[in-house]
Amino acid sequence: MPIMRSMKKRLIGHLDADCFYVSAERVRFPFLRGQPVGVLGNQGACVIAKSYELKAKGVSTGMPIWDAAKLCPEAVFVKRDFRWYEVLSRKMLDLLHQVSPRVEYYSIDEMFFDATDLPQVFGLPRDEAVTELQRRMLEEIGVPASIGIAATKTLAKLGSDSAKPFGCRVLLEDPDSFLQSQPVGELCGIGRRSEQKLAEHGILTCWDFSQADRLFIRNLLTIKGEALWYELHGDSVQSILTKRPPHKCISRGGSLGKATADPRRLTGWVARNTERLIEELDYYQVFTQRLTMMLEFKEGGGWSGSVSLMEPTASFNTLVEAGKMLMAEANVPTRVSHMHLLAEPLCFRRMVQRNLFSRGNNPRSERLAAVKRLINEKVGRFVVRSGDTLHLPDIYEDTTNRYDICDVHGKMCF
């Protein structure tokens, strides 16, 4: 006799905090509520997040503070603090884990979760349960968020994006008119170029996209576009990823603050970026087989070069020497504005076979690295650091440089 099993249709939720950095500042500084607030990047020059009040004055993300202050003289500007934002981000994750064990840490303020059992968890009808989750997020953590619920990740994200600020949208029965109202560029994964290509074929809305021929979409936008086509039809092809897949490449670096051609400062940056890179290699328990350096020059152009390492390693001495070698090779002709160090290919430490001539098991330097790590874990990041970094006093004096968004582990994307 055939066994009848009732298949419950899985539902996916997407939760997205509203102007997260600003909301996070308002949690600890309640006087900022209702005020026009801008959060500034690490150089303190550009607005990287804004409150709705500031947006209403015409201030956009990326705008320099002097322009923003002209548009809104009464605005309050604060420097970003990723350490604090991560604290709240983890609390949001914890709350979602009470709803379901299947939660994807998509970005610092966006999470996908299995919403199938939401009504049972809260003992409420579905739509009310969604609002209850939003209410608890605000009451227990202090962060306003928008929520989308649908059969697929793509639809759920479309739902929460369109419900902002502080809205909920459940897209289940008959989302046709909703899809007609959404420009195709709103789809996660459709960039400016894809949008143009689609427009050339008269595909302007998400509805147009869903009504186009599937194979036509695949030809135009590869299987990534085809996946979106399925997702818009309610066929879930993108699952909730509860674990981040292993990295193929780890990189650290960024802006040097004020551009410089001073060899001592540049060496300082090599050491700092190497130390940050090694933290990551340690965290993920991997070694790298090659080090690549990428430099951008203030006056335009750049340079990149690589060193293959004798054996897979995460040793500070080896990597910093490789970095200094690359710096010498670059023979910097002008001021450097950005530096990135890339480690790849990577391999898991427990899988590495040491060869006969292996130099990696140098007990002295490994013991030293372990002590350095231990002290920094206990007392604070960069408390013990390479002497080369003493050439960057301004960078280490400014505490907002201690922690970056890439230091928030486990997220799927930036």
The kind and range of the H/E element at 374 are helix 363-379
Residue 244's contacts (CB-CB under 8 Å, 6 or more residues apart) are 105, 410, 411, 412
The CB-of-351 to Mg ion minimum distance in angstroms stands at 38
φ, ψ for residue 321, nearest 5 deg: -65, -40
Q: Order the strands of the 110-114 sheet from edge to edge.
A: 103-107, 110-114, 12-17, 145-150, 168-171
Burial 58-94 (b: 16+ CB within 10 A, else e): ebeeebebeebbeebeebbbbbbbbeebbebbebbbe
Beta carbon nearer to Mg ion, 143 or 322: 143
Beta carbon nearer to Mg ion, 161 or 388: 161
The whole-angstrom separation of Cα 36 and Cα 121 is: 37
Instruction: Extract the tokens encoding 397.
Output: 């004096």
- Number of residues near Mg ion (by CB under 5 A): 4
State the DSSP code for 197. Answer: H
The CB-of-247 to Mg ion minimum distance in angstroms stands at 24
The CB-of-136 to Mg ion minimum distance in angstroms stands at 18
Beta carbon nearer to Mg ion, 88 or 392: 88
The CB-of-149 to Mg ion minimum distance in angstroms stands at 17
The whole-angstrom separation of Cα 176 and Cα 248 is: 39
Instruction: Extract the tokens encoding 90.
Output: 């983890």
Beta carbon nearer to Mg ion, 16 or 104: 16
The CB-of-110 to Mg ion minimum distance in angstroms stands at 6
CB 405 within 8 A of CB 84: no
Task: Look up residue 52 and give its amino acid.
Answer: Y
Q: Which of 12, 13, 15, 16 binds Mg ion (CB under 5 A)?
A: 16
φ, ψ for residue 197, nearest 5 deg: -55, -45
Beta carbon nearer to Mg ion, 135 or 258: 135
Beta carbon nearer to Mg ion, 146 or 194: 146
The whole-angstrom separation of Cα 194 and Cα 393 is: 45
The CB-of-367 to Mg ion minimum distance in angstroms stands at 44
The whole-angstrom separation of Cα 65 and Cα 44 is: 8
Beta carbon nearer to Mg ion, 26 or 252: 26
**Restricting to residues 100-129, which ones interact with Mg ion according to CB under 5 A?**
109
Beta carbon nearer to Mg ion, 17 or 130: 17
The CB-of-413 to Mg ion minimum distance in angstroms stands at 13
| Segment interacting with Mg ion, rule: CB under 5 A, options 4-12, 14-22, 57-65, 152-160 | 14-22
- Which string of DSSP letters, residue by residue, matches 21-56? HHHHHHHH-GGGTTS-EEEE-TTS-BEEEE-HHHHT
**Restricting to residues 18-47, which ones interact with Mg ion according to CB under 5 A?**
20
The CB-of-186 to Mg ion minimum distance in angstroms stands at 15
Mind telling me the catalytic residues? Answer: 110
CB 286 within 8 A of CB 346: yes
First to last CA, the chain: 51
φ, ψ for residue 256, nearest 5 deg: -90, 15
Residue 164's contacts (CB-CB under 8 Å, 6 or more residues apart) are 16, 18, 146
275 lies in the site for Mg ion, by CB under 5 A? no
> Binding residues for Mg ion, per CB under 5 A?
16-17, 20, 109
